[in-house]
Amino acid sequence: MRENNLLGLMIVLAPLSLASVGGATAIYAPLQHEAVELRQWVTPQEFLNYFTIMRFMPGPSSMLGALIGWKLEGFWGVLVATLSLYVPSSLVCYGVARSWSHFAGKPWHTAMQRGLMPVAAGLICAGVLNLFLLSGGSLAYAGMIVSVAAVLMWKQKLHPTPLLITGALIFETLYQLNLL
């Protein structure tokens, strides 16, 4: 039974590793279909709970698969699920990164590099806007975003962790004062 579950995790998650193009959310629908309906590893309510937990967890949200692994086989389930989720896509990325640095210094490489930079910059800017709108676009968020960015621009070498903890404390205070 145990081997079956671990093998099943691998069979379900490894293809999803390569299917998660454009963010981990792309795999939620197929994962739900496999884990809830076809294999009945978790109930619909459990899947929904896992989804909520992942919003409060560090790391990629596709670690949801690891929670399913935990429910099935404990620690080994987590390990097999994590490896299945990230090793296949990492191998592809490694291949691309390797050939990319192999050609460093060629004229087309420089052009590609310079061409990709503004695309990346535009993506990050759009990411800030979308996350802000997703959070409800409140004044508290806007104030926090701008002040944290200002502090980080001003102190280039500052470790961000104290700022994140300060952010948690400020929002906690606002919540206790019924201002959030």
Partner 1 sequence: MQSKSSPVSLFEIYTCFFWIGLLSFGGGLMPWIQREVVTRRNWLSNEEFLPGMAMSQVLPGVNSTNVAVYVGQHLRGAIGSAIALSGILTGPIIMVVFAAFSYQYVLGVPAIQAAAAGVAAAAMGMMLCTAISAVQACGLKLAPICVMIATFIMIGILHMSLITVVAIMTPISVFLSWPKSTQEHSTQVHSTQVHKADSDA
- Measured in whole angstroms, how far is the alpha carbon of residue 142 from the centre of its chain? 22
Nearer to partner 1 (CB atom), residue 7 or residue 87: 87
Does 180 bind partner 1 (CB under 8 A)? Our answer is yes
Nearer to partner 1 (CB atom), residue 44 or residue 122: 122
Backbone angles phi, psi at 27, to 5 degrees: -95, -5
Does 48 bind partner 1 (CB under 8 A)? Our answer is no
Q: Which amino acid is at 68?
A: I
Does 23 bind partner 1 (CB under 8 A)? Our answer is yes
Closest by CA to 144, choosing from 131, 158, 159, is 131
Least Å distance between CB 30 and partner 1? 14
Does 29 bind partner 1 (CB under 8 A)? Our answer is no
Does 127 bind partner 1 (CB under 8 A)? Our answer is yes
Segment near partner 1 (CB under 8 A); pick from 4-12, 29-37, 166-174: 166-174
Q: CB 159: neighbour CB atoms within 10 A?
A: 8
**Spatial contact of 12 and 34, defined as CB atoms under 8 Å apart:** yes
User: Which CA distances in Å does 42 have to 5, 31, 38, 86, 89?
Assistant: 12, 11, 10, 22, 25
Least Å distance between CB 48 and partner 1? 11
Least Å distance between CB 29 and partner 1? 15
Least Å distance between CB 120 and partner 1? 4
Angle at 78 between CA 77 and CA 82, to 5 degrees: 115
Q: CB 6: neighbour CB atoms within 10 A?
A: 19
Nearer to partner 1 (CB atom), residue 7 or residue 59: 59
Which of 24, 31, 72, 80 is in the footprint of partner 1 by CB under 8 A?
A: 24
As a whole number of angstroms, the distance between CA 156 and CA 116 comes to: 24
| Binding positions for partner 1, 59-118, rule CB under 8 A | 59-63, 66-67, 70-71, 75, 78-79, 82, 86, 88-90, 92-94, 96-98, 100-101, 104-105, 107-108, 110-118
